[in-house]
Amino acid sequence: MMDFAKLFSLEGRVAVVTGGSRGIGRMIAEGFVAAGCARVYITARKAAVVEQTAHELGEACVPLPGDISTLDGIQALADELAKRETGLDILVNNAGVAWGATFETFPEQGWDKVMDLNVKTPFFLTQRLHGLLKAAATDHPAKVINVSSIDGMKNNPWDTYSYHASKAALVHLTRRMAAELVKDNIVVSGIAPGAFPSEMNKAAKNAGDLVAKGIPVKRIGDTLDMAGGAIFLASRAGDYVVGTTLPIDGGIVNGSMRERGVDPLGNAL
Ligand SMILES: NC(=O)c1ccc[n+]([C@@H]2O[C@H](COP(=O)([O-])OP(=O)(O)OC[C@H]3O[C@@H](n4cnc5c(N)ncnc54)[C@H](OP(=O)(O)O)[C@@H]3O)[C@@H](O)[C@H]2O)c1
């Protein structure tokens, strides 16, 4: 008889969720706590917010504030984890940033900041945590989950050039890292969120009903949508999903222009 609860359980697992203090990272951390993780480390720069979130999510959630946009910050997080744990079952590379400016005025700073945190950090943080991930990958695979975006799979009309490029890069980096790390029993996969309310997606946060009109299922995403996908990938249920990025988007990537009320030529339907 199939043990259904065990299929999705994260009982006793140790996880790190970068950018776990708010938004999508917090939704994932909350899900991991509910699924039975022993410890869910959350990291972000604003220490007070990290600590408040950890307090709200309960004693399994552990605050580890820090800036992971630089190699020094990444190494500091890896060193701190190595002091506390002998293995790491789940790493969620979620922390991300966006930058908007017109094509003509887009600055180099808006390119480097976004590419550093959204692409370089997931690679180097996974590299620096490789030893801990391998150590945990004994009776079950360790998991790395990269949070990209549907903007890495299709265009949106916003002037977020480096963000689009960074997320497409992360979708492909997920495939490449999966091919490499599978030999160590580390399964790498990804999540491409659609519209979820957060500081980054202020439109979904402040005008969710309006945003929902353009989404095939006619609502924005919520904590259960995000936690459900992350728990699936992190648990036994997702062990055979290797190198794939799962859109959790209410149908945007696979939708048509009909939801937006226009045909492909922009004519009203
Ligand atoms: N919300 C959406 O609709 C949506 C859609 C598609 C993809 N995504 C992706 O989902 C991820 C989370 O986005 P979100 O919407 O939840 O954004 P958010 O509310 O802005 O949260 C970003 C998180 O990352 C942390 N962070 C930012 N810079 C950091 C740094 N240098 N070092 C450590 N932590 C840092 C932030 O905390 P601090 O500021 O305190 O550091 C915060 O915890 C991102 O990768 C984003 O691209 C979001």
Q: Could you tell me if the CB of 116 is within 6 A of ligand 1?
A: no
**Which tokens is 64 given?**
């580890």
Say how many Å lie between the CA of residue 97 and the centre of ligand 1: 6
DSSP label of 262: B
Q: Which of 49, 64, 92, 97 to mutate to test the pocket of ligand 1 (most atoms within 8 A of CB)?
A: 97
Identify the pLDDT of residue 255: 86
Identify the pLDDT of residue 40: 98
Q: Could you tell me if the CB of 166 is within 6 A of ligand 1?
A: no
Identify the pLDDT of residue 157: 87
Q: Which residue has the tokens 């226009």?
A: 262
- Taking only the tens place, the pLDDT of each residue in 65-94 is 999 999 999 999 999 999 999 999 999 999
Comparing CA positions, the residue from 90, 104, 99 lying closest to residue 29 is 90
Whether 119 and 169 have beta carbons less than 8 Å apart is answered as yes
- Taking only the tens place, the pLDDT of each residue in 107-154 is 999 999 999 999 999 999 999 999 999 999 999 999 999 999 999 999
Q: Could you tell me if the CB of 51 is within 6 A of ligand 1?
A: no
Residue 265: pLDDT band (50, 70, 90) is low
Say how many Å lie between the CA of residue 20 and the centre of ligand 1: 8
Q: Cα–Cα distance between 218 and 60 in angstroms, integer?
A: 34
Identify the pLDDT of residue 212: 95
Q: Cα–Cα distance between 121 and 138 in angstroms, integer?
A: 26
**Whole-structure pTM value:** 0.97
Comparing CA positions, the residue from 214, 198, 105, 119 lying closest to residue 159 is 105
Identify the pLDDT of residue 259: 67
Identify the pLDDT of residue 252: 94
Angle at 152 between CA 25 and CA 174, to 5 degrees: 70
Question: CATH code for 4-248?
Answer: 3.40.50.720
Q: Which of 16, 17, 24 to mutate to test the pocket of ligand 1 (most atoms within 8 A of CB)?
A: 24
Tell me the β-bridge partners of 145.
92, 189
- Taking only the tens place, the pLDDT of each residue in 184-200 is 999 999 999 999 999 99
- Taking only the tens place, the pLDDT of each residue in 197-240 is 999 999 999 999 999 999 999 999 999 999 999 999 999 999 99
**Interior/surface letters 11-39, b for 16+ CB within 10 angstroms, e for the rest:** eebbbbbbbbbbbbbbbbbbbbbebbbeb
Residue 262 confidence (pLDDT) above 70: no
Comparing CA positions, the residue from 190, 173, 170 lying closest to residue 97 is 170
For the annotated catalytic residues, the residue numbers are 163
Identify the pLDDT of residue 80: 98
